[in-house]
Structure 1
Amino acid sequence: MTSEVITPAPVPAPGRADRVRELATELRGLRGALIPILHAVQEDLGYVDQTDIPVIADVLNLAVAEVHGVVTFYKDFRREPAGRTTVRICQAEACRSVGAEALAEHAKRRTGVGFGETTYDGRVTVDEVFCLGNCALGPAVQVGDKLHGRVTPARLDAILGEAR
């Protein structure tokens, strides 16, 4: 006899669906409103939860699959809460030419997570970004709202230490 694991449907936090509906309704008149709505939900609520998708689809009169497809296609949309600190490592050509790939590998080893993942303790999320506009000072790293240039593995360790 095989046992089947049944995963319960996600349950939104109280008031979340109302807030998502409010944001979507407010922005639905925009041309190509889906992406601005998704950005607004993420900005306001921290991420786009699976339970937000049918609410947005309803407001825009779209298929749930269409909204889900957009959320999962674009890396900018987070589907889980981020850690308390987000470390974004530039992977654009200018930064890669001065060591961003090695820096990213160091960050992954140091934190134990890959791009788009959060440490088990919820403290740090590591993300890749494709230009922070700090090309002359690469490799560039953004921690929260603070931009760092010429980041070495040792400097990244210090930055991560502060974040933890």
Structure 2
Amino acid sequence: MDNTLSHAQHAQIQSHIQAHQHVPGGLLPLLHAIQDDVGYVPEAVYPEIAKALALSVAEVHGVVTFYHHFRTHPVGKHVLQVCRAESCQAMGSEKLEAALKATLGVDYHQTTADGNLTLLPVYCLGNCACSPAVMLDDEVYGRMSTQKVTELIAEVCHG
């Protein structure tokens, strides 16, 4: 068991593995279920997943690392993703991301010192008509400026 996982988290993961082990093509739904509950897919459970689904650990690792959606490390209480696709870049997302990094004091894939927010890049939120776009937790926001994102973070993360 991964020492960073609580017993409850490990039990959740085991429950998901049992629920998906006999489902054809169950790896992706299993990984989503784990990340939804735990917040990431711990590398320490790859062997358990592989054994249950008759896959190699390399196959599990390959799927987790291929899809940008999956995370292999714990994240903050909230996750802010900044779109880096062409449309958003054309509409100023690079300035937005630079300002956010400076304001938050983190780079991509890092969490603020208070553990409240993790900043991640994403390569399309499907909101191109409203560029630049961000996603805070599971909600997509368009036509964002540094001020709008800062206000959004304050509202959602600091209540």
TM range (shorter): 0.7 to 0.9
Q: Please state if 1:55 is matched with 2:48.
A: yes
Matched-pair contact (CA < 8 Å) for 2:85–2:123: yes
Residue 26 of structure 1: which of 19, 26, 36 is its match? 19
Q: Secondary structure at the match of 1:127?
A: strand
CA change 1:39–1:146 in 2 (3 A) is: closer
Give the TM-score, by structure 2 length: 0.84
Cα 1:111–1:14 change in 2 (3 A) is same
Residues 73-84 of structure 1 aligned to structure 2 (within 5 Å): 73-84=66-77
- SS of 2:81's equivalent in the other structure is strand
CA–CA distance in structure 2, aligned partners of residues 96 and 55 of structure 1: 40
| Alignment pair present for 1:13 and 2:6 | yes
Percentage of matched positions with identical amino acids: 38
CA distance in 2, matches of 1:18, 1:157: 37
Alpha-carbon deviation of 1:30? 3.6
Residue of structure 2 equivalent to 1:156: 149
More helix by share: 2
Distance in 2, Cα, partners of 1:133 & 1:37: 24
Q: 1:159 to 1:18 in 2, by over 3 A?
A: closer
User: After the TM superposition, which residues 132-151 of structure 1 pair with which residues of structure 2 at under 5 Å, given as runs?
Assistant: 132-151=125-144
Bigger radius of gyration:
1
Q: Is the 8 A contact 2:2 2:45 kept in 1?
A: no
CA-CA distance at 1:161 after TM superposition: 2.7
**Residues 139 and 149 in structure 1, CA contact (< 8 A), matched pair in contact too:** yes
Return the match for 2:87 from 86, 94, 100: 94
- Using the TM superposition, give the Cα deviation of residue 98 of structure 1 relative to its aligned residue in structure 2, in angstroms: 0.5
Runs of at least 4 residues off by over 6 Å: none
TM-aligned CA distance change 1:19 to 1:103, over 3 Å: same
Tell me, yes or no, if the aligned pair for 2:133 and 2:140 is still in contact at 8 Å: yes
Rounded Cα–Cα distance in structure 2 between residues aligned with 1:94 and 1:127: 18
Runs (5+) with no aligned partner, structure 2: none
For structure 1, the 5+ residue unaligned runs are: 1-8
